[in-house]
Structure 1
Amino acid sequence: MSCFNDSKNSENVNPIGLWGKNPWPEIRNKRINTLLPKALKNANVDCWIVICRENNNDPLAEHIGGENAGGTAVFLFYNDSKGFHSLVFSPSGEATALDELDIHHKVIPVDRAVSAVAMAAEFVKNQQFDTIAINSSTGNSMADGLSFTQRKNLEELLGSEAKKLVSSDELVYEWLSIKIPEEVEILTKAAELTAAWQIEAYQQIVPGVSTDADIAKFLKKKMTAYGVTDGWAPDQNPNVNSGPDRGHSHPTNKIIMPGDVIQIDFGIKLYNRWVSDIQRFAYVLKEGEKVAPKDIQFYWESSKAGNRAALAAMKPGVKGVQVDSAQRVLMNAAKSEFVMWSTGHPVGYVAHDIGPNLGGSQASHVRPASEKKLKEGMTFAFDGFHAWKRKDGTIKTISVEEIAVVTKDGARYLIPPQEELILIPTKK
């Protein structure tokens, strides 16, 4: 069943009526109870300790139900001979409400005069865990929420058991990189809206009058009308660019002119949780033109072919660097200028989410994330590239960016990809 009530009219939209009840509580419960036990096993972790608190909370608090922590609360997730367990030591002032949410198997109230960390440490010491994961990581900010003082206190309370502490880096990677079907459905809706609004934005362009910033403002109004938020930094979303490459940047007051190739890089966030990241490209016809010039059409077809090659390479067990290589072969054959960007990246809770990086095949060294293998349920935003030198010596890149989900035996686009370069007529 769909989570959405569709509306084709963006004016006077009631966001609550459009989106309905936020599905995150149910999705979170399912993720904890179906994906987390597997993630613990895959990461070779027996127990995971997450400490939550008010005002300076762990970045994973909302993923485990700790977002409302006042006093310090300790969340334990572990596998044993009886199965998977989630146990919380919570200050008594928040314990009742947390228990009523029915997220965790057991919530133990902790009196004000007692330390929840001390109680959790005593529990852990009475188990026979070999590895205990904590949120301290040098490479994953989502797995680095434990402060220095929190860690020092925990180690003192665990005593000799502290030698069993390991980083939760791999555990968090295994858990967050996979999206369940309900999340893929939401990401699909986000992708549909993102692409449709970009097409509509292109229809607003008056060559010689409209600026890149004008088109960005149009998309901002669509977001407000539909009650969605930015997929990434608001100042750089959307990035509308009818000139040479600017990378990740804000739209400028450049006037859109005949002969321009226009890029819109745009993402929205639904339920303040799930993010899209899609690009759409257009060409502004010069007076007398009915189709794009042969060179522009070649650049478009080349970049589109690279995107399709990347999708074909995606399947469980394939490394991210191999996906990057699949489309780089075509780039080299088409004599594209060098593009420094990776072919793709995970997308989901943020635009650049946790998971394998689809890059590295032409870098001086391969990033560890590019050596990671794709798994069923991972979602990626990825490009097909073609870059060329303009007459003034600057570089322009077409980067056909779509979103796909890895399936059991391959990958599929969430929405139909852009097949044709959008043509914008120039009126006399």
Structure 2
Amino acid sequence: MSNVEKIKQLERELATEGIDTLLILSREDSDKVLPLLLPVHVVAQTAFFFNRNGRHIVLTGSTDANMYKPFGLFEIIEVVEDFETDFLATFNRINPRSVALNISETDYLADGLTLGQYRLLESIIGGERLAALEKSSEPIVRTLRAIKSEQELTCIRHAVDVTCTIYEEIAPNIRIGMSETDIGALFVEGMKRHNVINAFAEPYSYPLVCINRCGLAHRQPSSRNILMEGDILICDFSVSHQGYCSDIARSFYALGKGESQAPQPILRAFQTTVNAVSAVIEGLKPGLMGYEADLLGRSLIEQAGYPTIRHSVGHQVGMRVHDGGTSLSPSSNPNSHYAIQKGEVYAIEPTVIQDDGKPSFIVEEDVLITDDGVQILSKRQMDLWYIAR
């Protein structure tokens, strides 16, 4: 995806932060931030000068130079003598007063500059000069990843729609007597049918498929775990479409002989989970702090008498399933001390999780933050889905 919108957004963020240039040094796709801006496979030693004045420059080898021409965004400089000489000449011509580098101690998604590339930069322009100019790109990258462009939202919406469709297609085909891997295979068939891939692990790997009785955790489905009457089944499924993800979980109950619905303790745990999801969705709005959003779901589950949630109530979704930025977590998490912003996409998942096979549920929905609340992107699960023989 050639995301001109993201590069224009980057220019605005550079202006907001008072930084002249975001400098990205990359070789063999070593930088984590570049894919957010350009869909390129970097081979040669390359320097990208993203300047807030909109006059962007790429310095690269002759093998890579042609792939930047179709974008129409760059002055392209091919290395003639050696990279170091041409870099210094370009850097001196730009003469930035401040330079953002992809270095961060707290956000791995803003920490793309390798030590070797940093040392190369230091050797070219000098340690003292670099120290006087360099800034962390973390605040810029955080906002750049978090606030989605219309092009990004189109991809995310498609990923979410396909995920919901696959759930709807396979739900009637889940049967008592199937193994976790049998159920996982239904998801793989759905991904192939809809031309998407798993956003976790390998392209056609199984999603999380857990029979509660066999242990609820982020683990691989097992062919030895067989769905039986009275079991709770939880599936957590994420797909990727054109590099952007969904993250949606659904919960099922396998009806026993003579049952038309689940027993009351199971229904109560499920309804508490749904109510907690609703509480978070209804309370989300721009300006709310991440830890405040976390408390909306966490407190409801605790007040219902269930154990506190073992993870965040929600997280951002984008190019990755867990896309960094503001986290809807307790205040002990530093990433919860940021305000929610319009244009962010979150997966909302307050859960009832209990040990020893007691009723546990995950219901996860994807939402977009709007001017004064949220737009729900996924088709909500409001009722427990039943499985019959």
User: TM-score, normalising length from structure 2?
Assistant: 0.92
Does 2:157 align with 1:188? yes
Aligned counterpart for 1:75 among listed residues 45, 48, 68: 48
Aligned counterpart for 1:372 among listed residues 326, 329, 338: 338
Aligned counterpart for 1:141 among listed residues 108, 112, 115: 108
Deviates more, 1:351-360 or 1:67-76: 67-76
Q: Which residue of 2 aligns with 1:404?
A: 367
Shift of 1:170: 1.9
- Indicate if the aligned counterparts of 1:121 and 1:154 stay in contact, CA closer than 8 A: no
C-alpha distance in 2 between matches for 1:395 and 1:29: 50
Shift of 1:236: 6.8
Q: Which residue of 2 aligns with 1:233?
A: 201
* 89 and 268 in structure 1: CA distance in 2 versus 1, 3 angstrom threshold: same
> What does 1:252-267 align with in structure 2 at a 5 Å threshold?
252-253=222-223, 254-267=225-238
Q: Which residue of 1 aligns with 2:11?
A: 37
Query: Runs (4+) of structure 1 moved beyond 4 Å?
Result: none
C-alpha distance in 2 between matches for 1:342 and 1:216: 25
> What does 1:171-250 align with in structure 2 at a 5 Å threshold?
171-207=140-176, 209-234=177-202, 237-244=206-213, 245-250=215-220
Q: Which residue of 2 aligns with 1:20?
A: none
1:199-225: per-residue Cα shift (whole Å, max 9, x none)? 332211222x21121110111112123
Q: Which residue of 2 aligns with 1:284?
A: 254
Does 2:378 align with 1:415? yes
Q: Which runs of no fewer than 5 residues in structure 1 stay unpaired?
A: 1-23
* 86 and 302 in structure 1: CA distance in 2 versus 1, 3 angstrom threshold: same
* 137 and 131 in structure 1: CA distance in 2 versus 1, 3 angstrom threshold: same
Aligned residue for 2:277, secondary structure, equals helix
Q: Which residue of 1 aligns with 2:22?
A: 48
Aligned residue for 1:166, secondary structure, equals strand
Shift of 1:124: 3.4
Aligned residue for 2:165, secondary structure, equals helix
C-alpha distance in 2 between matches for 1:399 and 1:283: 12
Q: Which residue of 2 aligns with 1:106?
A: 75
C-alpha distance in 1 between matches for 2:70 and 2:174: 52
| Equivalent residue pairs, number | 384
1:144-164: per-residue Cα shift (whole Å, max 9, x none)? 222222212212322342121
1:76-134: per-residue Cα shift (whole Å, max 9, x none)? 1122xxx33322122234324422332x24222331x232x543444434556342111
* 377 and 153 in structure 1: CA distance in 2 versus 1, 3 angstrom threshold: same
C-alpha distance in 2 between matches for 1:395 and 1:139: 36
* 72 and 242 in structure 1: CA distance in 2 versus 1, 3 angstrom threshold: same
- Indicate if the aligned counterparts of 2:314 and 2:349 stay in contact, CA closer than 8 A: yes
C-alpha distance in 2 between matches for 1:343 and 1:228: 27
Shift of 1:65: 3.3
Aligned-CA RMSD value: 2.1
Aligned residue for 1:400, secondary structure, equals coil
C-alpha distance in 2 between matches for 1:382 and 1:121: 47
1:223-243: per-residue Cα shift (whole Å, max 9, x none)? 123222111124974111122
> What does 1:336-375 align with in structure 2 at a 5 Å threshold?
336-361=306-331, 366-375=332-341
Aligned residue for 1:309, secondary structure, equals helix
User: TM-score, normalising length from structure 1?
Assistant: 0.84
Aligned residue for 1:51, secondary structure, equals strand
C-alpha distance in 1 between matches for 2:366 and 2:197: 19
Amino acid at match of 1:230: N
Q: Which residue of 2 aligns with 1:10?
A: none
C-alpha distance in 1 between matches for 2:168 and 2:237: 12
Q: Which residue of 2 aligns with 1:335?
A: 305
Amino acid at match of 1:72: Q
Aligned residue for 2:173, secondary structure, equals coil
Aligned residue for 1:397, secondary structure, equals coil
Amino acid at match of 1:76: F
Aligned counterpart for 1:382 among listed residues 348, 351, 365: 348
* 319 and 210 in structure 1: CA distance in 2 versus 1, 3 angstrom threshold: same
* 56 and 388 in structure 1: CA distance in 2 versus 1, 3 angstrom threshold: closer
Does 2:32 align with 1:59? yes
> What does 1:89-100 align with in structure 2 at a 5 Å threshold?
89-100=59-70
C-alpha distance in 2 between matches for 1:49 and 1:74: 7
C-alpha distance in 2 between matches for 1:175 and 1:339: 29
Deviates more, 1:287-296 or 1:120-129: 120-129
C-alpha distance in 2 between matches for 1:68 and 1:266: 28
Shift of 1:315: 1.3
C-alpha distance in 2 between matches for 1:184 and 1:127: 34
